[in-house]
Structure 1
Amino acid sequence: MSWLSKVRNSLGSLAKRDTPDNLWMKCPGCGEMLFAKEYEANLSVCPRCDHHGRISATARFEVLLDPGYTVLATPKVPENPLGFRDTKKYSDRLKAARAANPYPDALTNAAGTVEGIEAVIGVQDFAFMGGSMGMAVGAAFVAGVERAIAQNCAYVIVTAAGGARMQEGILSLMQMPKTTVAIRRLANAGLPYIVIITDPTTGGVTASYAMLGDVQIAEPGALIGFAGQRVIQDTIREKLPEGFQRAEYLHAHGMVDMVVHRKDLKATLASLLSYLERKEVA
């Protein structure tokens, strides 16, 4: 081995030791390499193409709520009620998802204030089994609504889901009417229900509580729909327009009320709460 090759190899091994694997990341939108800390500091939004990345429930609470919020306990429900098993047991899949996430299921509630205005916020985390809606999600949604009614404040839900959880079969689909009834109870109490739709929100979640808000807010570029685009095209035998099922298209066609950048979400939410609850910002 030549002297030059030895120097090159030693420099290469040194670079590998001194450079963390997570120092850089590739933007899912434009493909540009981004400095990971810069990306996180920008609320996981690409500073070049403005692509809104998916964020955790904890990060979402920190974006929307004032410091000092309280994460609420997730209601307990029967696990694997159908004894479902595919390549592995559903209960084992739940254990793996819980080991990789800070909360016990896909929907978590927190109580706090948004620029001084009291609210209960529920957040679906796509990292937990695709944010899928099962019995635990339905129970957490109802618990969030009940807490909002008890505190006489709004309930805000941040959606991110691939739809109903197939491992719970018909029991997952029963969460659609269950959550709809809870929303009616909130309305009867004269309290606002606001939905923030993030990427992706699809299936039974879109067909129920994600589209029943007093106000529908969507993040830029969010995928929003019931069935997949290919399924719809094959059914109606027509080519769908550009950007179909994206937040901007749905806003233009009246399905959502506004598309709001992540950095502006908190201020927008505070303004809506102040107006809908007829409360002054503290």
Structure 2
Amino acid sequence: MDNSTLRTVQVTRYVTPLREGGSLPAIAEADDGFLYALKFRGAGQGSKALIAELLGGEIARALGFRVPEIVFAELDEAFGRTEPDEEIQDLLRASKGLNLALHYLSGAITFDPVVNKLGEDLASRIVWLDCLLTNVDRTVRNTNMLMWHKELWLIDHGAALYFHHTWDNWQEQAAKPFVQVKDHVLLRWASRLEDVESELKGKLTESVIERIVQAIPDDWLDGREGVSPGEARGVYIQFLKMRASASGIFVKEAQDARERII
């Protein structure tokens, strides 16, 4: 799939919240007849969480991981007026327009490191990806991985790229080690980080990064710290390029953290 041409679907039915919590993602049905895990722009972190979800998911796909199809999800202004839950109704009202959704993997089960064993190569690839993305949300408490038809799928990258929540010193952030890797659910098995590094960096070319970043809708970027949508996209592109170039820094941090736990 061309990462710059995500499909757009119209949300037709709110089915059920996915979990408790501030962001209240939901299972929803769209006009193509499929169910989606819908992430709302009106939730706590707003469009920044959707940008991280889009960039993280499509970069993971470009690097060869299984990620459910990501689509733009259009929410009509009138949608949800009949929703009895007041909190959900407020969320739907605040999320009119373009949101983000992932194809719902019906019947998938949450990855459990005790039950589901991964090889060291795959574990190393996922740890490398999450260090690149500064993804703090792949822990034992919340693995954000699913087993579906005996295959591993990566989901929920909305907590990645946390530099954009302050937008300060992004150049410095791009070259920093990822100290939160110490809590990564797969770190113990990630013994091949140096071996997978050059292959993954080779796949993450400048053109791949640019194509993925260009998919961010303008209105998700409007008003971003006084910069235009085009300038904001430029920061994301440069951050990801610099982050990949400096991967030796976060690989060493991950290796040191792994040595401390094995």
Give the TM-score taking structure 2 as reference length: 0.24
